[in-house]
Copies of this chain bind each other. A is one copy, B any other.
Amino acid sequence: MPENVLFGEKLANAIADYGQLCVGIDPHPWLLDEWGLNQDSLGLESFGLKVVAACSNRIGIIKPQVALFEHFGSEGYRALEKVIRAAKEAGLLVIADAKRGDIGSTMNSYLEAWLGEGSSLECDAMTVNPFMGAEVLESLSPFAGSGSKGVFVLTRTSNSGSELFQNARTGGKDDSPTVALEIYRRLAECNAPLTGRFGSFGAVIGATSQLAGSGIEFESTHDSPPIPILAPGFGHQGADYSAIKANFGAAAGQVIASISRSVLAAGPGRLDASIDSERERLAEAMS
């Protein structure tokens, strides 16, 4: 894949070739144990490279969980750098699940780390935490505004208690937009000047979240280019692939369905078959 392809096009190609499945690279301590790997940077590297090899030519998108590498400091990051490099060489689209959020030149450093051309950690996209406000979204423009790289901004997560802040009302009234809706609208605005099959400003919206409370309505959106939606929470975390059409409606084709533990817990020996099976189940639910 040539380097100058825009993020939205890379994503569209990955989905056209392999469907909407994304596999998380989540080397949790208990998974390293189960895989017979050491709790160190060599264990992380071996785990990550095995997942990359299994995903190669089987799916199009992977999502390394940065926290689990950061756990081991600079050595953990060295392992992550090797895993990212291997994934890119295998033609996979890589979303760093880093959930970074800051403002101004500090946020720019995070973006340079994860999306900067030639950075040792360079990925195709990263997840972003918008808690500090509109300034966070504005700071993403140098990377996502050109379409060269993707960002997935936490919008409405599916974890317990997430509604407290994400469904809070920005105007302080019953009918004011929620925090989640405000973020979603702004992402659509950010994508509006772009062209292509997907925008580069994406949203993280949990597959199991109670979208009704957020005020986001996928049925009524005709965003162009469409917002890519990263939806974690499949498999182990409770959502079935049927939730995609049920929850995301007209935007179901924009969903990247991320699965981690239930595939990874199959163990290294059954990983290929487990990924094949999930990809097929997802394709069936989307057909």
Contacts and interface: CB of A to CB of B under 8 A. Distances in A.
A226 interface: no
A165 B131 contact: yes
A233 B65 CA distance: 31
B161 A165 contact: no
B67 A165 contact: no
Contacts of A72: 113, 120
Interface string A100-112: 1111111101101
A67 B106 contact: yes
A68 B159 CA distance: 30
B130 A131 contact: yes
A73 B130 CA distance: 23
Interface in A116-165: 116, 119-121, 129-135, 154, 157, 159-165
B70 A113 contact: yes
Interface string A74-85: 111110110000
A101 B103 CA distance: 15
Interface in A146-190: 154, 157, 159-170, 172-174, 176, 178-179, 182
Contacts of A81: 73-74
Given A164-B170, A172-B174, A101 B102 contact: no
A71 interface: yes
Q: Give this chain's copy count.
A: 2
B131 A131 contact: yes
Contacts of A130: 131, 165
5 contacts: A67-B109, A71-B119, A99-B102, A132-B157, A179-B179
Contacts of A80: 74
B106 A68 contact: yes
B105 A28 contact: yes
Contact of A169 (B104, B116, B169): B169
A100 B67 contact: yes
A68 B173 contact: no
B172 A154 contact: no
B120 A135 contact: no
Contacts of A160: 133-135
Nearest to A105: B28
B120 A67 contact: no
